[in-house]
A and B are shown apart, each in its own frame.
Chain A
């Protein structure tokens, strides 16, 4: 099918974008990479009155380390973040997850912020943002606000972005060079939707103990789930196998995953600990690769 008619806007700056958004309110949608939005338009699941393309707003095209955070503007394509030295050095979890986000042709165009704002419950980057306590920078003509993942993700395809507001940038906390990370998932196709996925990032004490563990999962709830119990068990340990297993199994307790066409709830609960174990092991092993360099 073809999209329904819409008014097209191509503002050149964030300010102009916000003005159009203020005018249309909830009848307008932001068009960035379009990898999630345009399928919905093509099938007429969505029929907004206006599309506001931010593809010409150079002031939204920025990716840099600012103070303690990597700030990723709304126009940064996934592939740009994937190839960015600042991301691979200071945000290993984002770097690890990006290759899983769709195929290359999709990542060439899709944006980091767009994937987050679309809030598909199986989007890898939502787990990254949740694990890292990323800050979502929302902007409207009335001003700016900053929200955390638990406030941002409200449910399947649903966020706290208000009509007239847009996700201007995301701030991922930067970590030191010795931090390592891994993203693992199971799914039907490498670049298809995940069934369950786990994001893990480890920071270390000089003696090798885990100073800080960050874990989050997709595919076990309508929003990404922070695995705090497992993080607690692993923190301040050396990540020996018994502890990793204990933490992985503890993480699944109390979760109520959805069913679905590709996997039922019981399968998701069964595969989650396996993936947590795999993710922690992989992240831990990455430390040895680092040392070799």
Chain B
């Protein structure tokens, strides 16, 4: 055996079950893109630095290039496709669009999923906290200023929505 034998892997991505036969070396990012056909997640550096491939595993941001699909079975994976509901985009997505927090868009899904976890834990962040939380993802277009603005705007709107709901 050289380890190339395919195995059946079942993954729950954005609430949909994907059962596929893959090699154990299949990275989570490649499973998401090629096996599940969800191309919103982007592969950048493939060593965990750039953050473009960031998804959420059981609600916690994680680099999908640094996990093997076979190893995260039984976890809940969320990608950018899972952020919006049928009618509305997520407040973060809306704020990114309004603030021009993206240009080419390659890094954006990673930023969105990173920011989503951050705002759940820190619903009323300071500018410094947002800058620190976004510092682990790279963007070569925007210069980050508008990304920080968008996260702050989204935070405000999410707080408003939640105060309405309670």
Contacts and interface: CB of A to CB of B under 8 A. Distances in A.
Contacts of B25: 2-6, 8, 41
Interface stretch (A104-112, A146-154, A168-176, A202-210): A104-112
Contacts, number: 97
Contact of A191 (B71, B117, B136): B136
Interface of A: 1-8, 10, 31, 34-35, 38-39, 41-43, 49-51, 53, 55, 79, 102-106, 108-109, 189-191
B108 interface: no
A105 B62 contact: yes
A130 B136 CA distance: 27
Given A7-B24, A38-B68, 19 more contacts: A2-B30, A3-B25, A8-B7, A8-B25, A10-B70, A31-B71, A39-B46, A42-B27, A103-B136, A104-B133, A105-B54, A105-B60, A105-B61, A105-B62, A105-B114, A106-B48, A108-B61, A190-B135, A191-B136
A152 B140 CA distance: 40
Contacts of B30: 2
Contacts of B27: 2-3, 42
Given A1-B46, A190-B132, A39 B66 contact: yes
Interface of B: 1-4, 7, 23-25, 27, 30, 46-48, 51, 54, 57, 60-63, 65-68, 70-71, 114, 117-118, 132-133, 135-137
State the 4 A-B residue pairs at the shortest beta-carbon distance, nearest first. A103-B136, A8-B24, A39-B47, A105-B61
Interface of B: prevailing SS: mixed
A7 B7 CA distance: 11
